[in-house]
Amino acid sequence: MTEDQSADRADAPTDREVACFEAGVKFGSLYHQFAGTPLSSDSADALARAMEESIENQPHCEEVVVEPREDALAAALAEGTADYTEWTGRFAEVRMRIEYEGVTVHTGMAMADGYPLMKVESIEE
């Protein structure tokens, strides 16, 4: 079925739904592409920029902002025996802006009860 044919179906996803789906794809890519990457205080900013640039390459992704959580990183390094740790969502706050067919989705990832929660923060049409 072509894209034009699916757009004519009553049960086809709306542009709003597709935009939210695209946001989820970007978060899944970001998280699973970088989970486990060696991370130190010296490399945190460079890794954040690499994450931003990598995910911004994807279709419909207009902006990615990754802010290292230096307090969480410092605490993890103090508890460990090495000069580095592995990247997980607890070491960054992330915001993205996805634009699809006139719909803009603003998303964020922040820690909630010890878990990196990814969510849609707002949708503009």
Domain boundaries, the chain: 13-124
Residue 10: predicted pLDDT: 83
DSSP class of residue 13? P
In tens, the pLDDT along 35-56 reads 999 999 999 999 999 999 999 9
Torsions phi, psi of 64, nearest 5? Answer: -135, 130
CA 63 from chain centre, in angstroms, equals 10
Residue 1: predicted pLDDT: 47
What share of the chain has pLDDT > 90, as a percent? 86
pLDDT at 28 over 50: yes
Closest alpha carbon to 97 in 44, 55, 50, 35: 55
What is the architecture of the domain spanning 13-124? 2-Layer Sandwich (3.30)
Residue 9: predicted pLDDT: 78
Closest alpha carbon to 121 in 96, 89, 93, 100: 96
pLDDT at 4 over 90: no
